[in-house]
Amino acid sequence: MSVDTKKLAALLEWYKQSLGDNLVAALVVNRDGLIMDSLVGDLEKSLSEEIISGLSALVEPVLTRITEEFSSGSFGTGTFDTEDYRFIFCESGPEAVLVTVLEAIAGVDSVFPYAYLAAEKIARIFDGRTVSPVIPKLVADSGANNVQRKLEKLQKVNIKSGEYAFKLILGGDGAVGKTSMVHRYVENKFETDYKSTIGTSIMKKECTFKELKSKVRFVIWDLAGQAQFKRVRQSYLANAEAGLLVYDVTNRSSFENIDKNWYREIKKASPNIVLILVGNKIDLESNRVVSRDEGETLAQKLTLTYVETSAKTGENVNDAFKMLALQIIKKFIETQDF
Ligand code: GDP
Ligand code: MG
């Protein structure tokens, strides 16, 4: 595949002109989130490298998530907000995706028509058809309804009858075993040394309840190095429907921090979240410093279900996720307000 990179660069330049100060950055990425070309808005020019690398860390997991949520792999257009930015993902043929990054407060309506046009042109550049990189001024309003329709389609993503997909997050101090629990649950594996990956890793797992004819699909977001990434944390914790609050039964301060920090921070970011409390590492019984009674008392205080697990032996790990899924179904059926 030979892409006319000059034309691509020219097109991005035109795109920038069309959006003016609204634009923080525009990136053309492939389906794996790898950047093929990018450009930073004038206001951020001096910081461009830093911005692009920061953005790419956000783009990749989001793209994976959007793609996964559409079983066909085709998602059309998606928007995603973080604390600082607003992202618009536009499919651009089978190979590329145009990612437009705006300030968090920017309106998107005036941007959409340009984004569609640019994405269409990028698709042509990728498959070698002739196309002009020039983006004309569009009359306001044209195509606005169309955009609205596409957005609605996006927001209705994938809730089919009896099948729900929920964002699941993990709260708790570093090294309590959050990543290990997810790997145990998703892959049924335990490794003693996970590289602390940068950014977010996103995994998917279905939990089926035959009796209820229901399936809960968890989209599990595992954020590495919470402490270092405060800025990302807020958007990580937001819009979550489910969460595990994890502490380590051999580490008292990890237990105390559940009540002191994690519970409140998560509830603030996602007020309707369904949580359960998990005391992990029960295989290390001789090092235990937090008793089961203390765990249960805290759970009662916070009105949560309590489970004790070992990601190492696998004890109760599936049950922890299953209990969470059941509570979600229950809540879903009772309130119907998801
Ligand atoms: P995270 O920072 O909360 O994601 O924690 P990790 O999953 O990276 O685990 C931190 C360390 O604790 C790693 O060395 C794991 O191997 C270890 N670990 C995690 N869960 C257990 C467990 O249930 N039992 C034991 N013995 N070690 C565990
Ligand atoms: Mg981890």
Per-residue pLDDT, 159: 37
Q: In the structure, which protein residues have their CB atom closer than 6 angstroms to any atom of ligand 1?
A: 174-180, 192, 194, 280-281, 283-284, 310-312
Q: Count CB atoms within 10 A of the CB of residue 74.
A: 9
**Measured between alpha carbons, how far is residue 139 from residues 110, 143, 144, 169 in Å?**
10, 9, 10, 42
- Please state, rounded to an integer, the average pLDDT across all residues of the chain: 79
- Return d(Cα 315, Cα 293) in angstroms, integer: 19
Highest mean pLDDT among 72-76, 187-191, 303-307: 303-307
**Measured between alpha carbons, how far is residue 187 from residues 16, 46, 172, 190, 204 in Å?**
43, 43, 21, 9, 10
What crossing angle do the helices spanning 112-126 and 144-155 adopt, rounded to 10°? 80
81 neighbors 4 (Cβ within 8 angstroms): no
- What atom in ligand 1 is closest to the CA of residue 280? 23
Ligand number nearest to the C-alpha of 182: 1
Find the mean pLDDT for residues 320-335: 78
Which of these ranges, 17-26, 115-124, 148-157, 298-307, has the smallest mean pLDDT?
148-157
pLDDT at 162 over 60: no
Per-residue pLDDT, 160: 40
pLDDT at 81 over 70: yes
pLDDT at 190 over 50: yes
Q: Count CB atoms within 10 A of the CB of residue 82.
A: 18
Find the mean pLDDT for residues 252-271: 94
Q: According to DSSP H, which parts of the chain are helical?
A: 5-19, 48-69, 112-126, 144-155, 178-187, 230-237, 252-257, 263-269, 292-301, 317-335
The domain defined by 144-335 carries CATH number 3.40.1010.20: no
Per-residue pLDDT, 87: 83
**Domain spans, the chain:** 5-127, 144-335
Per-residue pLDDT, 127: 87
Domain at 5-127, CATH class: alpha beta
- What atom in ligand 1 is closest to the CA of residue 172? 3
Ligand 2 centre and the CA of 36: distance in Å?
29
Q: Model-level pTM?
A: 0.58
- Return d(Cα 158, Cα 202) in angstroms, integer: 17
pLDDT at 335 over 90: no
Q: To the nearest 10°, report the CA torsion of 182, 187, 191, 193.
A: -60
- Return d(Cα 186, Cα 205) in angstroms, integer: 6
Choose among 7, 36, 221: nearest CA to 121: 7
Per-residue pLDDT, 153: 38
- CA-nearest residue for atom 11, ligand 1, is 175
Ligand 1 centre and the CA of 276: distance in Å?
18
Per-residue pLDDT band at 138 (split at 50, 70, 90) = low
Per-residue pLDDT, 9: 92
Ion ligand 2: residues, CB within 5 A, are 178-179
Per-residue pLDDT, 243: 95
Ligand number nearest to the C-alpha of 191: 1
The structure tokens listed for 167 are 């964002």
Ligand number nearest to the C-alpha of 222: 2
**Measured between alpha carbons, how far is residue 254 from residues 171, 264, 290, 310, 338 in Å?**
11, 15, 10, 16, 31
- Return d(Cα 7, Cα 239) in angstroms, integer: 38
Per-residue pLDDT band at 177 (split at 50, 70, 90) = very high
- Residue 251 DSSP code: -
Find the mean pLDDT for residues 206-213: 70
Per-residue pLDDT, 337: 43
53 neighbors 34 (Cβ within 8 angstroms): no
Q: pLDDT tens digits, residue range 296-316?
A: 999 999 999 999 999 999 999
- What atom in ligand 1 is closest to the CA of residue 284? 26
Phi, psi dihedral angles at 329 (to 5 degrees): -60, -45
The structure tokens listed for 250 are 């051999």
For residues 122 and 212, the model is more confident at 122
Per-residue pLDDT, 197: 43
In the chain, the percentage of residues whose pLDDT exceeds 70 is 76
pLDDT at 132 over 50: yes
